[in-house]
A and B are shown apart, each in its own frame.
Chain A
Amino acid sequence: MSIKNILSKPLSSFISLALLTLGIGIISLLLQLNSLIKDQMDNNLRGIDMVVGAKGSPLQLILSSVYHVDSPTGNISYKEAEKISNNRMVGSSIKLLYGDNHKGYRIVGTEKKFIDLYKSVFEEGKEWEKPFEVIVGSKVHKNLNIKIGDKLVSSHGLRETGESHEDQSFEVVGLLKPSNSVIDQLIITSPESVWDIHDTHNHNDTNDNFENENKHDHEHEDEHEHEHDEYDDKEITAMLIKFSSPMNIIQFPRQINETTNLQAAVPSYEISRLFKLFGFGIDTISYLAYLIIIVSGFSLFINLFNAMNERKYEMALIRTIGATRFQLSSMIILESLILTLLGFGLGLLFSRFGVMFVSSLMEESINYNLSSIKILSEELWLLVLSVILGVLSSLIPAIQVYKMNISKILADA
């Protein structure tokens, strides 16, 4: 009955429904995106208590070395980084080295621990053994259709347009399974590969290639004995650190910032700062969305109120058949509830499509994947809100029907 009434007035029902869908949709979309981005950020923060890099913006340091979206702040010397990683407050550390990309995907020189940090698993192949062997993240090899044994040419810098190192290519030795973290969109290799490719680049000598190859082999054999001496003059971009005890997070970053010319940044702190920054924009949009919901409530009210005036003979008729006032009033409330619940459902659907759309956009621009979609507890609050809205907007019409003087209405007919 209520459904038929809604269907018999498609236009006005549709307007209230559209408004409500829009309002609920926007709020739910914001909630979803917020939670997905937070999830994604937290996922990538796993196991990283602090990042050490060159002086500059701490947020930039975090974005570049944890999320791999911004340019690095600069390089730091290997020696100093090593000093920090030997500090007793450091549980474990991973050195990172940037410089190149392959078709826009960053090539990171790092340690093998990096793979374990993101709990990544090999789909095929194995870890690198020599320089210029690389392991490719899931999204990279899926998008570029890379297989084991392929040769990748890198270009200088972090953008696709950089000068390419035509003379030196990487050989793919491993493919990773998706881990839903940044490693999916990275190409990782040993730090030596990155150091060497830039040595080659600088010398620009015809014999260089050959020389370098020899050097690699030598390096590789003696890696363990000579590690410190050999790398002393080298530079790295950043170092990810996990503390030996969580308590160190208070003291250690400050100590580094004050006593060395390195910069230490705490990702969880910087990210919450970032969220506060764009939280303002999110708040504004959500107020707007709540306003739309309120307007939709009014529209619903006017819709029901008009319909009630038009249908008062019908109401009176139903009463003469013997329906109680209560039955009629609850019918009106039910009608409103059906509309609001429908609006809620459509709104959620709308937000899901929105999330899919946004995540496809984001995937292209910054290589992020926001794939998992679930119902959030905040959305249950939206459900409660729409039920309240449905009841409130139908309350006055329902009361009016309750007090209706059937005899008078029928006599006026």
Chain B
Amino acid sequence: MIKTNNLNFNYDNKVFFNFKNINLKNGEDLLIIGNSGIGKTTLLHLLAGLLKTDSGSINIYGQELKNFSNHQLDQFRRENIGIVFQRAHFINSLTVKENLQLAQYIGKKNNNDRIENILKNLNIFDKSDKKTNQLSQGEKQRVSIAMAIVNSPKLILADEPTSSLDDFNCKNVINLLKKQASDYGAQLIVITHDSRLKEHFKKQLKL
């Protein structure tokens, strides 16, 4: 269960955000839609524990994020959350497989079968020994999905996963995300301004 209550956040006391409450049961996916500049990414970072709220509460699976220390937030993120970014980031000095192994290492897991399984499922297994900067944009997107789910998170947060894609690839990616989330038993929250995604989610929140 994911619940937020009267979330507020400000940047240097200049930009203030107030977010609508989220109330999501286990197993439900959510699309958060809104125009640029209204703090979508900020909300995602708050949910991921990358930022701390000024006021209000975030309760994810019964844990209150604002009570956590930085170290506990790291641990919480490690155990519960996978993030897919708008633009994929990897460790460029490592191969696809090594990136995933690093993620597992940080998540204190070690399961090469799972890496193989995920890469096959995403249809990029043949790229596993390539450096990430040798990949095409579409392949990078898939690898970043793989990075997000490799440690079996309960919640996948996706930040504008489709905004730079054409209609065909947009559909592909969102289907892939939903399939991966359900295949590996994770909840999915997508944050976007891309209205093409509306048709794919039952539950939506407009900011």
Contacts and interface: CB of A to CB of B under 8 A. Distances in A.
Contact of B93 (A7, A319, A320): A7
A407 B70 CA distance: 13
B38 interface: no
Contact of A320 (B48, B70, B90, B92): B48
B90 A321 contact: no
A261 interface: no
Contacts of A323: 74, 78, 106
Interface in B62-83: 70-71, 74-75, 77-79, 81, 83
A321 B147 contact: yes
B94 interface: yes
A332 to B, nearest CB: 13
B176 interface: no
Instruction: Pick the most buried of A314, A316, A317: most chain B CB atoms within 10 A of its CB.
Output: A317
B50 A406 contact: yes
Given A322-B75, A407-B50, A411-B45, A5 B106 contact: no
A314 B85 contact: no
B74 to A, nearest CB: 5
Interface in B84-121: 85-87, 89-94, 98, 102-103, 106-107
A4 B98 contact: yes
A204 interface: no
A250 interface: no
A314 B133 CA distance: 13
Interface in B25-80: 41-42, 45, 48, 50-51, 70-71, 74-75, 77-79
Given A318-B102, A321-B103, A413-B86, A4 B48 contact: no
A324 B71 contact: yes
A56 B74 CA distance: 80
A410 interface: yes
A407 B92 contact: no
B180 interface: no
Given A322-B107, A407-B45, A410-B50, A317 B78 contact: no
B141 interface: no
Contact of A322 (B78, B87, B98): B78
A410 B85 contact: yes
B78 to A, nearest CB: 3
A82 B136 CA distance: 95
A324 B103 CA distance: 12
Interface in A284-322: 311, 313-314, 316-322
A5 B45 contact: no
Contacts of B187: none
A147 interface: no
Nearest to A5: B93
Instruction: Pick the most buried of A314, A316, A318, A320: most chain B CB atoms within 10 A of its CB.
Output: A320
A319 B48 CA distance: 11
B83 A1 contact: no
A320 B98 contact: no
B123 to A, nearest CB: 23
Instruction: Pick the most buried of B42, B50, B78, B85: most chain A CB atoms within 10 A of its CB.
Output: B50
Nearest to A6: B93
Interface string A376-413: 00000000000000000000000000000011001101
B162 interface: no
Contact of A318 (B41, B75, B91, B98): B91
A316 B89 CA distance: 9
Given A322-B107, A323-B106, A413 B85 contact: yes
B151 interface: yes
A320 B157 CA distance: 11
27 contacts: A1-B91, A1-B94, A4-B91, A4-B98, A8-B92, A8-B93, A311-B91, A314-B90, A314-B92, A316-B89, A317-B90, A317-B147, A319-B50, A319-B74, A320-B48, A320-B50, A320-B83, A321-B102, A321-B147, A322-B75, A322-B107, A323-B78, A323-B106, A325-B70, A407-B42, A410-B41, A413-B89
Interface of A: 1, 4-5, 7-8, 311, 313-314, 316-325, 327, 406-407, 410-411, 413
Given A320-B48, A322-B106, 19 more contacts: A1-B94, A1-B102, A4-B93, A311-B92, A314-B91, A317-B90, A317-B91, A320-B77, A321-B147, A322-B77, A322-B79, A322-B107, A323-B106, A327-B106, A407-B45, A410-B41, A410-B85, A411-B42, A413-B86
Considering the complex of A and B, which 8 residue pairs feature the smallest CB-CB distances, nearest first? A322-B78, A8-B93, A407-B45, A4-B93, A317-B89, A323-B106, A322-B77, A407-B50
